[in-house]
């Protein structure tokens, strides 16, 4: 794709070396990008991890999300820097390739692939679990498979159609969130708070004095709620109006998600009748802590409303993730880092890449749905791939603007060096705080990627020697 963001006469996006069958169609606006980003993140993402964060942070759960938003802002800013100069569908794969070289680009894409394939699998499983709770006669793996099929068909139909349906689902989730916020405010005004009004920002005091280390430890978990906003960058070749719109959507989506996360966790923390110390002592209560607080303070009707919203919203979060995974596979196939068949498009839709992504995600999601410990296995490994890719993203900003001077002008030391270095320090710190299982799986996936990269290098070297 040309760096000035030009498109062909038929609305498709040209890319370096790309033929007519390797081009994506421009049809997305700013709203569509935000819809995809928020769908992937999910407006009520803290529901499932509220209890864990409340226990780990000693009750300062709203502060955790405030810090996490600021921490992820460094990554969003680096994305915004690179999408302006490399507006291609491969996202971090394309950025690392431009800033660090082909090898680093492949590894960045390879690690991001782990995230983009497994996060939708987790979301599909969440949807299956929620639907099984509503209709227990049907097994969760059946609901999970149905969710994969329905959302895959929407993605195959085209990015614009999927965005329109996604907007309706997102609107429903926002309405449910607004109902929760209004109801919580009314209950707090009438009955008062179960905890001190400042405790969501300073801790509830039941585990001792405020501890910054506890908040930092909880941030490493809260960051998982934000994974997916970066998927916006994978649609850079399908947006109308240039890559600057993608950069704005990235920053806007992260800021909006941060506001929603802080607001809902602040309110539910005030409604929570169980102390953070009790949640820490009884970890089996952490998963349902959000629902339990709503049940105790408002009633089961709101509990059920939130549950239905999560069931539908999770499936469409997976839709956005599957679409992003398809674009990543498409870009890596177009660059011959993966089989070239992945780069074929049909009417501007990368259907081959989408189907491959759907099959892999289906296998992971259904496997997990048929196991009692399947969710734990998936959740424990979804973050390492993304965080490793984020680290390479930050390095690519330094590589492009500072080392290669690709910007063509003077180096802006704050945005081109300080911000990415701090961002990389944050992502590395979160990787260090990740579970041992996640680190092992991430290391194995990285080792496999390095082996694939070495094989590709050997193949190209042999071809050059043979004069091919």
pLDDT per residue, tens digit, the chain (468 aa), is 333 344 443 344 445 544 445 566 666 788 888 887 888 788 888 887 888 889 989 999 999 999 999 989 999 999 888 888 888 766 788 889 889 998 888 898 888 888 778 888 888 887 887 787 678 888 888 988 998 998 888 888 876 777 777 788 888 889 998 999 999 999 999 988 899 999 999 988 888 778 888 888 788 778 878 877 777 877 777 778 777 888 888 899 899 999 999 999 999 999 999 999 998 888 777 877 888 888 888 877 887 788 788 778 888 888 877 887 888 888 888 878 888 888 888 777 788 888 898 898 889 888 888 877 676 667 667 778 888 888 999 999 999 999 887 766 777 889 899 999 999 998 888 888 777 777 888 889 899 989 988 888 887 777 777 765
The residue written with tokens 């070289």 in the block is 101
pLDDT of residue 407: 65
pLDDT, tens only, 277-289: 998 888 777 877 8
Residue 307, number of CB atoms within 10 A of its CB: 18
pLDDT of residue 264: 93
- The beta strand positions in 391-465, using DSSP E, are none
User: Which secondary structure element, helix H or strand E, spans residue 25, and what is its range?
Assistant: strand 24-25
Cα→Cα distances 427→71, 176, 293, 424, 451, Å: 9, 32, 32, 5, 24
* CATH code given to domain 30-458: 1.20.1740.10
pLDDT of residue 387: 85
Residue 183 dihedral angles phi and psi, to the nearest 5°: -60, -45
pLDDT of residue 137: 87
pLDDT of residue 434: 72
pLDDT, tens only, 362-412: 898 888 888 776 766 676 677 788 888 889 999 999 999 998 877 667 778
Tokens read off for 183: 């109801």
pLDDT of residue 14: 47
Q: What whole-number distance in Å separates Cα of residue 203 and Cα of residue 62?
A: 9
pLDDT of residue 113: 82
152-174 burial string, b = 16+ CB within 10 Å, else e?
bebbbebbbebbebbbebbeebe
Q: What whole-number distance in Å separates Cα of residue 329 and Cα of residue 337?
A: 9
pLDDT of residue 13: 45
| pTM confidence score | 0.77
């Amino acid at each position: 794709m040309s760096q000035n963001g030009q498109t062909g006469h038929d609305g498709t996006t040209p890319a370096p070396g790309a033929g007519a069958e390797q081009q994506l169609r421009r049809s997305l606006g700013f709203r569509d990008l935000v819809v995809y980003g928020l769908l992937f993140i999910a407006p009520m993402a803290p529901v499932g991890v509220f209890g864990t964060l409340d226990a780990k942070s000693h009750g300062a759960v709203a502060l955790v999300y405030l810090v996490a938003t600021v921490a992820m802002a460094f990554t969003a800013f680096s994305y915004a820097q690179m999408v302006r100069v490399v507006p291609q569908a491969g996202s971090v794969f394309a950025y690392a390739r431009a800033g660090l070289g082909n090898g680093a680009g492949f590894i960045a894409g390879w690690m991001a692939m782990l995230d983009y394939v497994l996060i939708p699998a987790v979301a599909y499983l969440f949807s299956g679990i929620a639907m099984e709770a509503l209709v227990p006669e049907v097994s969760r793996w059946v609901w999970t498979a149905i969710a994969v099929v329905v959302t895959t068909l929407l993605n195959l139909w085209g990015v614009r159609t999927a965005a329109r349906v996604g907007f309706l689902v997102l609107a429903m989730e926002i309405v449910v969130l607004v109902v929760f916020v209004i109801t919580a405010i009314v209950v707090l005004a009438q009955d008062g708070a179960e905890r001190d009004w400042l405790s969501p920002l300073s801790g509830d005091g039941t585990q001792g004095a405020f501890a910054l280390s506890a908040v930092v430890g909880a941030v490493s978990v809260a960051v998982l709620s934000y994974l997916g906003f970066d998927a916006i960058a994978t649609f850079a070749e399908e947006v109308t109006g240039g890559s600057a719109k993608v950069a704005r959507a990235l920053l806007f989506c992260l800021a909006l998600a941060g506001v929603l996360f802080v607001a809902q966790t602040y309110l539910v923390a005030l409604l929570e009748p169980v102390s953070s110390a009790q949640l820490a002592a009884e970890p089996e209560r952490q998963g349902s802590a959000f629902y339990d607080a709503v049940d105790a303070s408002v009633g089961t009707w709101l509990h059920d409303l939130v549950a239905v919203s999560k069931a539908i919203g999770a499936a469409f979060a997976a839709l956005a993730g599957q679409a992003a995974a398809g674009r990543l596979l498409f870009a890596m196939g177009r660059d011959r880092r993966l089989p070239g068949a992945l780069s074929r498009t049909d009417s501007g839709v990368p259907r081959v890449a989408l189907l491959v992504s759907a099959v892999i995600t289906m296998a992971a999601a259904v496997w997990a749905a048929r196991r009692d410990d399947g969710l734990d296995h998936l959740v424990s490994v979804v973050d390492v791939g993304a965080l490793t890719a984020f680290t390479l993203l930050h390095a690519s900003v330094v590589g492009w603007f500072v080392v290669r001077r690709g910007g063509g002008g003077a180096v802006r030391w704050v945005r081109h060096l300080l911000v990415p270095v701090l961002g990389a320090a944050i992502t590395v710190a979160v990787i260090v705080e990740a579970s041992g299982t996640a680190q092992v799986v991430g290391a194995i996936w990285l080792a496999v990627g390095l082996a694939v990269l070495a094989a590709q290098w050997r193949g190209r070297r042999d071809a050059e020697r043979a004069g091919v």
